[in-house]
Amino acid sequence: MHLKLKSASIRPWSMEDAVAVQRYANNRKIWLNLRDVFPHPYTLENAQAFLSYVTQENPQTAFAIATPAEAIGCIGLTLGGDVHRKAAELGYWLGEPYWGRGIMSEVVGRFTRRAFEVFDLQRIFAEPFANNRASVRVLEKAGFVCEGRLRASIFKDGQLQDSFLYACVRDNAARP
Q: Domain containing 10 — which CATH number?
A: 3.40.630.30
Q: Give the domain range for residue 54.
A: 3-172
Query: What is the SS3 assignment for 30?
Result: helix
Q: For the segment 117-151, what is each residue's pLDDT rounded down to a tens digit?
A: 999 999 999 999 999 999 999 999 999 999 999 99
Cis peptide before 176 (omega within 30 of 0): no
- Give pLDDT, residue 171: 80
Q: Which pLDDT score is estimated for 66?
A: 96
Per-residue exposure over 60-97, b if at least 16 CB sit within 10 Å of its own CB, e if not? ebbbbbbeeeebbbbbbbebbeeeeeebbbbbbbbbee
Give dist(CA 171, CA 176) in Å, integer: 13
Tens of pLDDT, residue by residue, the chain (176 residues): 655 666 789 999 999 999 999 999 999 999 999 999 999 999 999 999 999 999 999 999 999 999 999 999 999 999 999 999 999 999 999 999 999 999 999 999 999 999 999 999 999 999 999 999 999 999 999 999 999 999 999 999 999 999 999 999 998 665 54
pLDDT of residue 7: 73
Would you list the DSSP string of 71-92?
A: EEEEEEEEE--GGGTTEEEEEE
User: What's the confidence (pLDDT) of residue 8?
Assistant: 85
Query: What whole-number distance in Å separates Cα of residue 167 and Cα of residue 145?
Result: 5
How many domains does the structure of the chain reveal? 1
Q: Is the whole-model pTM more than 0.85?
A: yes
What's the sign of the alpha-carbon dihedral 6, 140, 100, 38?
Answer: negative
* 6 close to 103: Cβ distance less than 8 angstroms: no
Closest CA to 84 of 33, 136, 119: 119
Q: Cα–Cα–Cα angle for 145, 110, 113, nearest 5°? A: 65
